[in-house]
Structure 1
């Protein structure tokens, strides 16, 4: 089960069950302060960083309105839009908390060709913030499409994902929120939910489809 983390001075959660478990910072809020208070946006953690392989702590609902949590959400949104990408989780910024943001703006939606948008069932959606989310599968049919990740920069692979899911949790105001999504939006949600449990898409990918996205350029 996930730990619940309070303020920066709170006691850390229980020790990992074995010495082989990934190490996490003493307190996620200390990691948040270290990563999100810099003038420059933080870099996205790359595969190999232990934080990407550990389940995040649950956020104390009473702290969602805190300056630290608001800063973390702002930073996630800022980095997501700067990259740009369609989703980003707190662990990807080195903060092991159960929190992610997602957004598919019109400009990114239109950057994909119409035939591909139709095949992938893509539709733009506004900013979504989920704290302590849980997921329920609504349509268990598996659909496989290429998927990338800012924490495995420069690579992609086909990943089977459920056709439709419902994610429920708390929003940036601490209010209950729920979203039923299908198609590409459901894929984004499943990708981000995996991050909160220390799972990367390479754990679920069809391994023979794994590619360097610049392979034609590099091999030319």
Structure 2
């Protein structure tokens, strides 16, 4: 499938993206679209096209599978992302990471700010950087503001793993990859994660790989 022409108007880019299949191609580090701040959504897509684009993001996210996907990850520089987390994890993981189910949501023009000073560090992955994970320390609680796909205002506090998801996806809209915030000594293949670092928290990995966790 042909990739969208980055110089075309945004609506035309989205039409090109959706022209042949429902699942969108995933862009990788080195593609400039992942490093540019996105354009604020201000009606560049009509409601029908926006709905089709959101559905394509949903299908692509679920097929990966992932818990979030931002427009730049499929080559579109618009400030739109989707999140969803069924949180199929063991109870000990849920308790340590604060990972609870999140329904499918569309984030339009989101931004976040930390609430309080607590930080949490866990392994994170990204659909644009397949095959690897690394430990990222992030605020444990954030206030997210923006809109939904219908233009309704969003002003909500997220904690635990949901807070991590909205930070990760909003970062994409600012041209920031999780690796920019990661402890690079923790970078591990998915195989190493499965064999060595499946614990709910990354304490053993920190000792073995020689990096510090936030206090």
> 1: distance between equivalents of 2:100 and 2:192?
29
Q: Which residue of 2 aligns with 1:138?
A: 115
- Which consecutive unaligned segments of at least 5 residues does structure 2 have? 1-5, 195-215
CA contact (8 A) 1:64 1:173 kept: no
Deviations, residues 130-158 of structure 1 (Å, cap 9, x unaligned): 11112121133221100000000000000
CA contact (8 A) 1:64 1:174 kept: no
Structure 2 residue aligned with 1:198, among 175, 181, 189? 175
SS in 2 for 1:58: coil
Deviations, residues 42-94 of structure 1 (Å, cap 9, x unaligned): 2211112111011110111x456522211111111111111111100000111
> 1: distance between equivalents of 2:193 and 2:160?
29
- Change in CA separation of 1:115 and 1:216 when aligned onto 2, cut-off 3 Å: closer
Shift of 1:216: 8.0
Deviations, residues 97-139 of structure 1 (Å, cap 9, x unaligned): 000010112xxx12x2211111101110111111111212113
> 2: distance between equivalents of 1:142 and 1:115?
19
CA contact (8 A) 2:22 2:59 kept: no
- Change in CA separation of 1:64 and 1:180 when aligned onto 2, cut-off 3 Å: farther
Counterpart check, 1:69 vs 2:50: yes
Q: Which residue of 2 aligns with 1:180?
A: 157
Q: Which residue of 2 aligns with 1:37?
A: 19
CA contact (8 A) 1:100 1:131 kept: yes
Q: Which residue of 2 aligns with 1:116?
A: 93
CA contact (8 A) 2:11 2:45 kept: no
- Which consecutive unaligned segments of at least 5 residues does structure 1 have? 1-23
Counterpart check, 1:97 vs 2:74: no
> 1: distance between equivalents of 2:72 and 2:193?
31
Root-mean-square deviation over aligned CA pairs:
1.9
Q: Which deviates more from structure 2 when the two are superposed, residues 160-169 or residues 66-75?
A: 66-75
State how many pairs are aligned: 190
Q: Provide TM-score, normalisation by structure 2.
A: 0.82
CA contact (8 A) 2:23 2:57 kept: no
Q: Which deviates more from structure 2 when the two are superposed, residues 88-97 or residues 172-181?
A: 172-181
